[in-house]
A = this chain, B = another copy of it.
């Protein structure tokens, strides 16, 4: 319809705070729900209220990447959604591998939420002979020894690492040797890897601790 605001300017202007990126994912999630309700536009105030942020915060966050809003209107959901996906790199589909097919790994294989955001688990690996060969959620579990060749073939750069803590570092080293540059680490250890490799840690016990603190604090 009207001319789009300034999509030539979807370039990041300065260094972007990490917290901004974290919120971008939250905005995207809320935006997707909002669109599903059939709404076409959303204001910074509305979006902020959904997440408990101020309207200024919402606008500032987007301003790091360009101009996406329409004064008097707000943001067009479809446009903004797309812009955030481009920023996060999820406007395309990523092939990811699961490494470690125990309890948690198997649950990750069955979790549908990844594909909705553009991530496809295209291969699964384990070291236990009793698991190798099994298929779960349509993915056959391969030997970790075949990671190098299969990951090249499938162009895998990101891995969900769900192995026991005791072997996590060792397995991670192998993955990095095979060209992996991003690891979502579910093991409760700090991985020590080259700076070129990105690691995001998800430690469920730590999340529970944070919750315990919050609960105790408010009671006191």
Contact = CB atoms under 8 A, between A and B. Distances in A.
B111 A211 contact: no
A51 interface: yes
A106 B108 contact: no
Nearest to A192: B50
Most buried by B among A87, A110, A198, A217: A198
A83 to B, nearest CB: 13
A182 B103 contact: no
Nearest to A51: B190
Contacts of A96: 208
Given A25-B209, A119-B205, A213-B21, A103 B113 contact: no
Interface string A83-117: 00001111000101000000110111011011011
Interface residues of A, number: 60
Interface string A174-197: 000000011110001110000010
A215 interface: yes
Nearest to A198: B214
A215 B158 contact: yes
Contacts of A160: 208
Main secondary structure of the interface of A (DSSP, over half): helix
A22 to B, nearest CB: 7
A114 B205 contact: yes
Contact of A94 (B110, B196, B212, B217): B212
A208 B21 contact: no
Contact of A215 (B117, B157, B209, B215): B157
B200 A184 contact: no
Contact of A196 (B26, B30, B117, B218): B218
29 contacts: A21-B210, A24-B213, A25-B209, A25-B210, A29-B189, A29-B190, A87-B213, A88-B212, A88-B216, A89-B212, A89-B213, A90-B212, A94-B212, A96-B208, A108-B204, A113-B205, A114-B205, A114-B208, A117-B205, A158-B208, A181-B218, A182-B212, A182-B214, A183-B211, A184-B204, A198-B211, A198-B215, A202-B202, A202-B204
